[in-house]
C-alpha cells in the first residue's frame, strides 16, 4: 500500500521546458496565454489539503505569473481570493477567477492601476466588502523594463517602476492594516535582483531591494501585533513580465540557461512557498526572504 501511494520523484532538470525559446515580444503588460510555451501555474497539478481553509486573500498581479500560481494554490487550499490586475489583462484574469470558483471558493477580480493611490484604497475596501474581511495580503504586482543605459532610462519609466513596485505596496498595505486581524500575513514578491542586480535593470533592482527592507522593517513593527511579514525572491521565472520588455528578446531565447538547473522556473514551482508563508503552521517565520532561483542568486 505504501508503494502504491508513494509520489513519483521528479528530476528538476527535466521537469519543465529548457531554452532555447522563441523570441516573443509582447506589449506591456503581456498575457500568459500568448507565451510559448504557456507557463504552468499549477492549473492541472496543484492539489490542496485545506491549509488555508476559510482564509481571505488579496493578491495583486494575480492574473498571470507568480500571482496567478498563488491564487490557484490559495483557492485549492480553501481560501477565498480577490485578484487585482490591469484592465488589459482581463482575459487572463477571467481564467484565474474561473479556476478559483472551480475549487469551490469565492473568487473576484478587481481591475485597476495600482500606481493610483486612490485606487489602492478602493481595492482594499472592495476586497474587504467582497470577502467580509482580509487576512492574507500578497503584494506581488511588479513593473520591469530592461534598459541598457542609464542615459536611456526616462523619468517617466523610472517613475512607473517606483510607483508600481514601492509606492503601491505602501499604499495597499497602509489601507489594509486596519482590517488585518491577529494572525494575518503580508507577503511581498522581491527578486534575486535585490541581491545581484543586472546592469540593464537599474531601476527594477532598486525597487526589489526596497521590498526586502519593507519586509524586514514591517515584520519588526507588526510582530507585536501578531501579524507576520515575509517575502519571496524569485530568480528567472517564465512569466509575461519577461517577454513584455522585462528582458531583451535576445535574452528570452536563453532565459534561465545560466542557472544550475539550466532553465527558468515555472510559476507553479513557487506556489507552495506562498502557501507555506500564509499558513498558520509557519507561525514563527516573519521578516524572512525565501529564495527560489534554480540554484543561483540570494538569499
Question: Per residue in 33-44, pLDDT tens?
Answer: 999 999 999 999
How many folded domains does the chain comprise?
1
Residue 168 lies in a domain: yes
H or E, element range at 57? strand 56-60
Residue 3 has pLDDT above 70, yes or no: no
Residue 39 lies in a domain: no
Catalytic residue (choose from 74, 85, 108, 204): 204
Residue 297 lies in a domain: no
Structural domain harbouring 74: 19-34+47-292
Question: Per residue in 106-143, pLDDT tens?
Answer: 999 999 999 999 999 999 999 999 999 999 999 999 99
Residue 123 lies in a domain: yes
Q: Is 204 a catalytic residue?
A: yes
* pTM (predicted TM-score): 0.96
Strand partners, 138: 59, 187
CATH label of the domain that carries residue 234: 3.40.50.720
Residue 73 lies in a domain: yes
Residue 157 lies in a domain: yes
Residue 137 lies in a domain: yes
The arithmetic mean of pLDDT across residues 186-215, rounded, is 97
Residue 2 lies in a domain: no
Task: Please give the Cα distance from 241 to 207 (Å, whole number).
Answer: 15
Amino acid at each position: 500500500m505504501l508503494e502504491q501511494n508513494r509520489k513519483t520523484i521528479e528530476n528538476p532538470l527535466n521537469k519543465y521546458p529548457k531554452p532555447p525559446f522563441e523570441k516573443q515580444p509582447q506589449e506591456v503588460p503581456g498575457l500568459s496565454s500568448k507565451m510559448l510555451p504557456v507557463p504552468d501555474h499549477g492549473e492541472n497539478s496543484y492539489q490542496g489539503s485545506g491549509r488555508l481553509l476559510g482564509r481571505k486573500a488579496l493578491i495583486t498581479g494575480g492574473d498571470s505569473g507568480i500571482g496567478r500560481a498563488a491564487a490557484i494554490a490559495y483557492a485549492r487550499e480553501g481560501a477565498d481570493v480577490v485578484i487585482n490586475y490591469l484592465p488589459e489583462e482581463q482575459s487572463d484574469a477571467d481564467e484565474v477567477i474561473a479556476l478559483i470558483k472551480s475549487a469551490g471558493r469565492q473568487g473576484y477580480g478587481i481591475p485597476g492601476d495600482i500606481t493610483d493611490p486612490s485606487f489602492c484604497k478602493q481595492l482594499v475596501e472592495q476586497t474587504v466588502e467582497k470577502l467580509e474581511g482580509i487576512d492574507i495580503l500578497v503584494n506581488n504586482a511588479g513593473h520591469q523594463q530592461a534598459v541598457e543605459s542609464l542615459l536611456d532610462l526616462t523619468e517617466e519609466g523610472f517613475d512607473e517602476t517606483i510607483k508600481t513596485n514601492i509606492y503601491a505596496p505602501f499604499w495597499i498595505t497602509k489601507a489594509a492594516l486596519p482590517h488585518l486581524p491577529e494572525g494575518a500575513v503580508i507577503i511581498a514578491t522581491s527578486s534575486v535582483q535585490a541581491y545581484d542586480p543586472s546592469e540593464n535593470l537599474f531601476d527594477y533592482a532598486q525597487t526589489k531591494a526596497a521590498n526586502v527592507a519593507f519586509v524586514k522593517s514591517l515584520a519588526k513593527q507588526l510582530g507585536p501585533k501578531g501579524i507576520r511579514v515575509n517575502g519571496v525572491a524569485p530568480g528567472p521565472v517564465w512569466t509575461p513580465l519577461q517577454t513584455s520588455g522585462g528582458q531583451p528578446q535576445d535574452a528570452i531565447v536563453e532565459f534561465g540557461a545560466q542557472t544550475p538547473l539550466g532553465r527558468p522556473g515555472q510559476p507553479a514551482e513557487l506556489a507552495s512557498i506562498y502557501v507555506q508563508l500564509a499558513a498558520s503552521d509557519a507561525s514563527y517565520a516573519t521578516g524572512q526572504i525565501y529564495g527560489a532561483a534554480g540554484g543561483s542568486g540570494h538569499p
